[in-house]
Homo-oligomer: A and B are copies of this chain.
Amino acid sequence: MTTDYRPMWESVGLDLEAHDQLLQALPPAYGEVYMNQFNRPAGMEYFDFVVSEIHGLRIHELQQHKAAGGKVIGTFCVFVPEEIIRAAGGICIGLCSGIEIGTAQAEKVLPRNICPLIKSFMGFKLAKVCPYFESCDMVVGETTCDGKKKAFEILNDYIPVHVMETPQMKREKDKSLWHSEVQDLLNRTEELTGQKITEEALLQAIKDVNGKRKALLRLSELRKNNPAPISGKDCLLIEQIAMYDDVSRFTQKVNELCDELEERVKNSQGVKETTAKRLIVTGTPMAIPNWKIPHIIEESGAVIVAEELCTGLRYFENLVAETGENMDQTVEQIAARYLNINCACFTPNEGRMEKLLQLAEEYKADGIIHCALTFCDPYAVEANRVEKVLKEKGIPLLRIETDYGQEDVGQLKTRIEAFLELIG
């Protein structure tokens, strides 16, 4: 970052000293993971720039938006309908974080044995090191897991939290409950922004967010080719940035990148040899800057061709119908799209099993790596179901449980390399 953002950071209430330490940790990690990749697409330059300005330009934009009377709403889950917030002139920002920060502060209010993602967001808030968090006027939580559900009660001591009750099954009565929850969010958003959400604005927001999804789907489709035209690490980065970047600009940049990748595909160019093992990663979200597993996988010679993750396909794989004939129907169609997400919070979660089999076939995957964050019961237990289904179909699976620490990198590297040899 060339601009001096310190006055801005101070004004949003950051602890500058702690924040300096965070910034110092980030750039070297990024350089190591991202900047030495073979035959990297030129279109990644924009996303490198976004990361280099992670607490700079985008925060400046949020502050400008707020200065003009706009609201910023933070989220921790792909279940929160961005369309609603956008239709009220708000900006929706994904706040999940993938780095150990403020652990000591977080452990004052949370148990030690809790998922690192939850500990991380609480640490970010309590240590006052996240300008996104500090820019938020409200946070929208949900009940997708016990840890988050209960942590939001504590977070509410520090910032207003509106919690959406995500159902745990997908029957008609669950659809009704969820429809009503989406309507409640709409009402609460109108209240917060002071702006009535018109049907026109909502339909436009749906088109905009669908546009982002379509660009990401286009990127996904290109990854079905061999050689892979882009690395999994780069795609994960794009999927992470999707959660907080400006929707229109991001969509345009992803589409520009896809234009480039289409040329690559035509010329059979890629980032790895055609013999590289093609893997799918599935499991818990990998929030920025958690690139640990994908980095190990791709450094080991394989290429990731799809992410069945919240920071991946679950975020963009279905579109909202753009055909709503009245407000209620439009809200219902939004609710329907989101309830389609194959989260492990559902019991059973057959959709995820079917999706994994479908992805393995369509992306010609040689194997699947199941990554669960430590202490994440929904995914760690559901791994048993994934294992069962994949075994029946003879698809190789490696199960990993890890956190944000770097202590197990050597061990994970050994296990992943052994897995790659096994499926060779």
User: Which chain B residues lie closer than 8 Å to A385 at the CB level?
Assistant: 153-154
Decide if A173 touches B168 in the complex (CB within 8 Å).
no
User: Which chain B residues lie closer than 8 Å to A377 at the CB level?
Assistant: 111, 114, 145-147, 150, 375, 377
A347 within 8 Å of B by Cβ? yes
Decide if B165 touches A165 in the complex (CB within 8 Å).
no
What distance in Å separates the Cβ of A120 from its nearest Cβ neighbour in chain B? Answer: 15
Residue of B nearest to A372 (CB): B111
A390 within 8 Å of B by Cβ? no
New A-B contacts (14) at CB < 8 Å, excluding given A113-B380, A154-B381, A165-B167: A110-B381, A111-B372, A111-B380, A111-B381, A111-B383, A113-B113, A113-B374, A113-B401, A147-B381, A150-B347, A152-B347, A173-B180, A177-B177, A375-B377
CA distance A113 to B374 in the complex (A): 8
Decide if B111 touches A401 in the complex (CB within 8 Å).
yes
A344 within 8 Å of B by Cβ? yes
What distance in Å separates the Cβ of A216 from its nearest Cβ neighbour in chain B? Answer: 28
Task: List residues 373-387 of chain A with CB under 8 A from any CB of chain B.
Answer: 374-375, 377-378, 380-385
User: Which chain B residues lie closer than 8 Å to A168 at the CB level?
Assistant: 143, 149, 165
Decide if A378 touches B165 in the complex (CB within 8 Å).
no
CA distance A143 to B166 in the complex (A): 12
User: Which chain B residues lie closer than 8 Å to A319 at the CB level?
Assistant: none
A10 within 8 Å of B by Cβ? no
What distance in Å separates the Cβ of A398 from its nearest Cβ neighbour in chain B? Answer: 15
Partner of A347, one of B153, B380, B384: B153
What distance in Å separates the Cβ of A144 from its nearest Cβ neighbour in chain B? Answer: 9
Decide if A114 touches B380 in the complex (CB within 8 Å).
yes
CA distance A151 to B372 in the complex (A): 16
CA distance A267 to B147 in the complex (A): 49
A348 within 8 Å of B by Cβ? yes
User: Which chain B residues lie closer than 8 Å to A380 at the CB level?
Assistant: 111, 113-114
What distance in Å separates the Cβ of A22 from its nearest Cβ neighbour in chain B? Answer: 25
A169 within 8 Å of B by Cβ? yes
User: Which chain B residues lie closer than 8 Å to A151 at the CB level?
Assistant: 381
Residue of B nearest to A379 (CB): B150
Decide if B384 touches A154 in the complex (CB within 8 Å).
yes
CA distance A177 to B177 in the complex (A): 8
Decide if A382 touches B165 in the complex (CB within 8 Å).
no
Task: List residues 142-184 of chain A with CB under 8 A from any CB of chain B.
Answer: 143, 145-147, 149-154, 163, 165, 167-169, 173-174, 177, 180
CA distance A353 to B126 in the complex (A): 24
CA distance A154 to B109 in the complex (A): 33
Decide if B150 touches A381 in the complex (CB within 8 Å).
yes
What distance in Å separates the Cβ of A102 from its nearest Cβ neighbour in chain B? Answer: 16
Q: Mark A329-373, 1 if CB is under 8 A from B, else 0.
A: 000000000000000110110000000000000000000000010
Decide if B165 touches A169 in the complex (CB within 8 Å).
yes
What distance in Å separates the Cβ of A381 from its nearest Cβ neighbour in chain B? Answer: 4
